Structure 1
């Protein structure tokens, strides 16, 4: 039960403390891709700790020691009758049920987020097919609208949209830069990353880590798209486009270059920070791997110890 206690304490502590630690990390703007992975890995580690803690509490380590078939038999027996009639069997059932509920709740929320966004994007795409026109030179759909907007509609047939208001206010070079930003969203499938962050926050809306991760991932994805666009266009052009689009309000189910983070991103474009060094990147990747694999590895320790002890005992008898 020590492992169960450790996993439970970690899940509670990480849900409260990790958002504070990750928010203070000054390196996130220097490596937005790594920062996104860190936030999602932190959320996954909390969910995995809760799920693995429940499984560790429900399934005795000895079941693993007698082989994988014995483990499956133990799970089936637990679901059917529980381990005996002692009060502890009810605790095992509750732990297993809690793990199942966490997995089901997270899966349901992710499916709901994806389904809702896909439905709204389909409606918007149908509207664009009626009132928009495709511009081959821009490689985007032009929408006759006075508000300055540039955004993309993710999906299998992703679309980039720009309004006539944006075309009138932005220079051609700035238009090309901001369209590159939107295409970075489409190529990177950033809407799926956002969906995962939104699913965590929706599954457990009162958990500080999940709520903070959603807002941070939204911000970091825009930084990442800025960096991708900056590989082919001058940063000054991207900054100028962001200034022109700062007041635009894009649809909730789309990804756009403007918004409330635009002005802070302008400063970042004009004053780029030094990228992370190799050692810093490796340390960050190791932290992500530890967050993802740590709970499962810890939960597996008692079972593996029992497995080794059982087989060593069997070999000694031979």
Structure 2
């Protein structure tokens, strides 16, 4: 019981307290890639800690004391389990079903969100074949639409879409800057991370980690793409382009250059801050990777 309470407390800490602290952390916008990893680590940690807490609440006392061996015994995996520890079919199935359900909930939503994203992306690609005009010089597809917008459809056969309004509003350098921004989304496979956080937010509605994790991850992914564009183009060009396309609406399955938190990103682009020290960056990465392992060490210890 003590282990279950400890794991439940850890899950509450990760799911309720930590998100507010991470959302306000000053280093996050200076190291967006590390911050994305931190949010992913918190989500995985919450699922692991919650599943193990549920396991320790429903498992028999003997299995609790046996730790990981007890869990393997319930699953019928432990080769050297005593005869008395043999699975009792229905009872042990219920014991395993509870923590597995905690894991399968976000996994089920992940499969559903992936399917929905592919369907939406497929509809957009079908529409592009009808109304889009290839622009090989930009590596993009031009759509005759007055509102300035630039976005990408990531995945197999990825496309970058530029509206006629964006072509009219942007200079050559500004256009190239936002195109580089979109290529960063494609090469970084940011759509996969967006699907992951969307699935988590749907699986655990109302949880601060779900709400803030989705908002912050989407914003941080845009910052990562901004940083990629700034390697090749000036801050003024990217900032001006962001202002021009901020009002453009990208389809549901797309990642747009206007993106979320345009004002926050604009300030960040125009007033750059020093990146965290390498030691601090490595510490953040190590903590993000270690966080999901801590509940396993607690639950599976002797």
Q: TM-score scaled to structure 2, two decimals?
A: 0.90
Counterpart in the other structure of 1:168: 168
Alignment of 1:59-74 (within 5 A): 59-62=63-66, 64=69, 68-70=78-80
CA distance in 2, matches of 1:21, 1:212: 11
Given the alignment of the two structures, is residue 218 of structure 1 paired with residue 218 of structure 2, yes or no? yes
CA distance in 2, matches of 1:221, 1:29: 10
Alignment of 1:255-274 (within 5 A): 255-274=255-274
Maintained 8 Å contact 1:177/1:233: yes
SS in 1 for 2:160: strand
Aligned residue pairs, count? 292
Maintained 8 Å contact 1:247/1:260: no
- Quick one: structure 1 residues 260 and 199, their matched pair in 2 at CA, closer, same or farther if it must change by over 3 Å? closer
CA distance in 2, matches of 1:50, 1:267: 38
Greater per-residue helix proportion = 1
1:72 CA drift (Å)? 11
Given the alignment of the two structures, is residue 239 of structure 1 paired with residue 239 of structure 2, yes or no? yes
CA distance in 1, matches of 2:32, 2:214: 14
Counterpart in the other structure of 1:41: 41
- Quick one: structure 1 residues 290 and 34, their matched pair in 2 at CA, closer, same or farther if it must change by over 3 Å? same
Cα deviation code 1:261-308 (max 9, x no counterpart): 222212211111101111111210121022121122221112xxxxxx
1:260 CA drift (Å)? 4.8
Q: TM-score scaled to structure 1, two decimals?
A: 0.86
CA distance in 1, matches of 2:226, 2:282: 23
Counterpart in the other structure of 2:146: 146
1:96 CA drift (Å)? 3.0
Gaps of 5+ in 2: none
Gaps of 5+ in 1: 83-92, 303-318
CA distance in 2, matches of 1:8, 1:140: 49
Maintained 8 Å contact 1:245/1:259: no
Counterpart in the other structure of 1:80: 90
Shifted more, 56-65 versus 291-300: the winner is 56-65
- Quick one: structure 1 residues 78 and 276, their matched pair in 2 at CA, closer, same or farther if it must change by over 3 Å? farther
Cα deviation code 1:112-158 (max 9, x no counterpart): 11100100100110100111011110000011110101000011111
- Quick one: structure 1 residues 12 and 75, their matched pair in 2 at CA, closer, same or farther if it must change by over 3 Å? farther
Counterpart in the other structure of 1:197: 197
CA distance in 1, matches of 2:85, 2:197: 31
Cα deviation code 1:76-111 (max 9, x no counterpart): 7154344xxxxxxxxxx6553321211221111000
Maintained 8 Å contact 1:45/1:291: yes
CA distance in 2, matches of 1:124, 1:72: 58
* Aligned Cα root-mean-square deviation (Å): 2.1
Maintained 8 Å contact 1:4/1:56: yes
Counterpart in the other structure of 1:26: 26
